[in-house]
Amino acid sequence: MSAATLYDYWRSSASYRLRIALNMAEIGYDQIPVDLTKGEHRSPEHLKRNPQGLVPVLEIDGLRLTQSLAILDYLDQTRGLNLLPKDPAARAKAQALAHSIAVDIHPVCNLKVAKFATELSGGREDMPGAWMRQFIRPGLEAFEVLLGGFEQCPYATGDAPGLADICLMPQMYNARRWEVDLSGLDRVLAIEAACAENPAFATAHPAANKPDA
């Protein structure tokens, strides 16, 4: 029997984050897909798991947890993943780096937000891609500058993957999916390459988690 059950969607950025962390912690889990494109997240069954109708939902240690950042914090504290520095000042800076993606870019590029923006645009042919590019590129540019405050050796904030790496990789997947211009983002691209070589990240990638993949 697996140690956890993860309700997720293969392309969900928040779900992708958790798959990385679960792999890093070497926690075996049963994966139950919730297809957002089919509206399964709005089903009565899923709303009982999470009244927000969101993924991921993680059942672990007798708990049912929601919100990826909160779950990552739980896994960090209970499994010793060392996703953030112990020093309060360094921790705040590393957390801000991660949140610049998870809190500022991700919400406006959420699938339901992008769909609504497309509806408001009257179904413009370049939507939702234009919407995604409008927010992802500037966000990654800021992330690139923020990285200047850390030494990449080879990960975002040091020699081991941290919270910022876990938040960055799903956003890079989205950036490439929506053909965002990544030129000039040398630090970001170097981190992406390092993470891609890490098995915990590689096996969490959407391509490896697509149903029937």
| Prior bond of 161 cis (ω within 30°) | no
Question: Mind listing the pLDDT tens digit for each residue in 40-97?
Answer: 999 999 999 999 999 999 999 999 999 999 999 999 999 999 999 999 999 999 999 9
With cut-offs at 50, 70 and 90, classify the pLDDT of residue 125: confident
H/E segment holding residue 35: none
pLDDT band at 1 (very low <50, low <70, confident <90, very high): low
Q: 213 pLDDT exceeds 70?
A: no
Lowest mean pLDDT among 36-50, 94-108, 111-125, 195-209: 111-125
pLDDT of amino acid 2: 80
Please say whether the beta carbons of 111 and 142 come within 8 A.
Answer: no
User: DSSP letter string over 51-91?
Assistant: TT--S-EEEETTEEEESHHHHHHHHHHHHT---S-SSHHHH
Residues composing the chain: 213
pLDDT value of position 144: 98
